[in-house]
Structure 1
Amino acid sequence: MPFSLATPAHHELVIKKSRFIACVEPMPGRVEAQARVAQLKAKHPDAAHVCWALLAGGQSAANDDGEPGGTAGRPMLEVLRHQDLEGVMASVVRYFGGVKLGAGGLVRAYTDAVAQALLTAEKVQRIAQTQLACSVPYALEGLVRRELEQAKAQLQDVAHGSVVRLRFALPETQASALVERLSESGRGQLVWLDAEQAG
């Protein structure tokens, strides 16, 4: 089962006068990751490199930011994969200390920086979520809301038109029981929708 992180965690290494400032943090996707990299570059304008790796939404990305190919982003990505993480970004800001580390030294430095940051990170189990949507007459909105609350579903969107459309997410393991309960208590007036169309 994949894990994510509860909060960001940091670690700093100094190797032959080069500073490696690592951060591992929860990250929903690539767009947010690129925005975070831009923030880091703005915060550390004198840094030689801001390398990063991302595992999110079934996609992965790795960026060496000018370091020799395969010596930074890819090793960082492997650390994330090895720890079975999902929805997580690792970044390392490097201040060059004047001494070249060589390809092997760089791989070790970036790997160690991320691995050390992960040692202090609080991991949380990722529970697969299911998106559902339904429409009901106004008279049944309260009933549906109560059922959702009981099932600890996250109500994401409610649209009031000729009927009430509700879009929500809940753990995959509880979805079928909730669908069954709502279909039964909806007395044929509850209509299940494609979650995408309900948005």
Structure 2
Amino acid sequence: MPQTLVSPAQYREEIRKSRFLTLAAPVESAAAAQAFITAHGDPSATHNCWAWKIGQQYRFSDDGEPGGTAGRPILAAIEGQDCDQVVVLVIRWYGGIQLGTGGLARAYGGGASKCLQSGERRELLRLERCACLASFAELPRIKARLEAFQAQLEEEHFQADGVFLKLALPAERVQALRDWLLDLSRGRIELQHERYKSFTESVDEVVDNR
């Protein structure tokens, strides 16, 4: 079962005179992850490398370190710890001794793993994202019943022919909600899985080879 942090965590380490500060926190959106990185990054540091993962979405940055030596190892640490809905920022102050590509990957990935291990964690429910089109008359009854299925209303869009709803709920409750909606609408409302695009790009290019 995937886990997230209960509260922010940090881990400090010095490797061959380079200082590393790793910060990790729970987040629920890409915007929240980027806001954490902006708020806690140190402009005076040599590198501010990071990764975050929220469901099927993830992103990472090497921030000037050689490609594949920072952001991706941080992301691998998040996945290796079976974490989700977390952001990890690793700040490095260069100490004058090159670590090599392998040393960098171990430093960034290892720091991220130790930081996540040090924090208090909680299990996440595996949520499925679904969508359906309901009539205006059916909307109040659907909203009133969502809590019974542990469903969250993420978005609603009013259209000429009804209301388009995007929902998130535990995977084991999807079929029960689908059956209830079919019964409510006499077979007209069909609950379908909503697919979200993931993105995996790194946002930086290789600048140096420290």
TM-score (structure 2 length as normaliser) = 0.71
> CA 1:136–1:46 in 2, change beyond 3 Å: closer, same or farther?
same
> CA 1:113–1:155 in 2, change beyond 3 Å: closer, same or farther?
same
In structure 1, the partner of 2:149 is 151
| More off after superposition, 113-122 vs 31-40 | 31-40
Select the residue among 20, 36, 52 that pairs with 2:50: 52
The one-character-per-residue Cα deviations of 1:135-187 (angstroms, maximum 9, x if unpaired) are 1352x444323321222211234566777626232222211111212322344
Match for 1:165: what amino acid?
Answer: V
CA distance in 2, matches of 1:91, 1:24: 6
In structure 2, the partner of 1:116 is 114
The one-character-per-residue Cα deviations of 1:1-36 (angstroms, maximum 9, x if unpaired) are 433334332112233443211022334566654454
In structure 2, the partner of 1:2 is 2
In structure 2, the partner of 1:170 is 169
Match for 2:172: what amino acid?
Answer: T
CA distance in 2, matches of 1:170, 1:161: 23
CA distance in 1, matches of 2:176, 2:99: 57
In structure 1, the partner of 2:104 is 106
The number of aligned residues is: 191
Cα RMSD over matched residues?
3.2
Q: Taking every aligned residue pair, what percent have the same amino acid on both sides?
A: 33
Residues 116-135 of structure 1 correspond to what in structure 2 (within 5 A)? 116-121=114-119, 122-135=121-134
CA distance in 2, matches of 1:106, 1:169: 38
**1:191 aligned counterpart, secondary structure:** coil
Deviation at 1:113, TM superposition (A): 1.7
Match for 2:25: what amino acid?
Answer: E
Residues 10-25 of structure 1 correspond to what in structure 2 (within 5 A)? 10-25=10-25
The answer as to whether partners of 1:135 and 1:191 remain within 8 angstroms in 2 is yes
List alignment gaps of at least 5 residues for structure 2: 195-210
Deviation at 1:118, TM superposition (A): 0.8
Alignment of 1:71 onto 2:69: yes
List alignment gaps of at least 5 residues for structure 1: none
CA distance in 2, matches of 1:60, 1:187: 40
TM-score (structure 1 length as normaliser) = 0.74
CA distance in 2, matches of 1:170, 1:180: 14
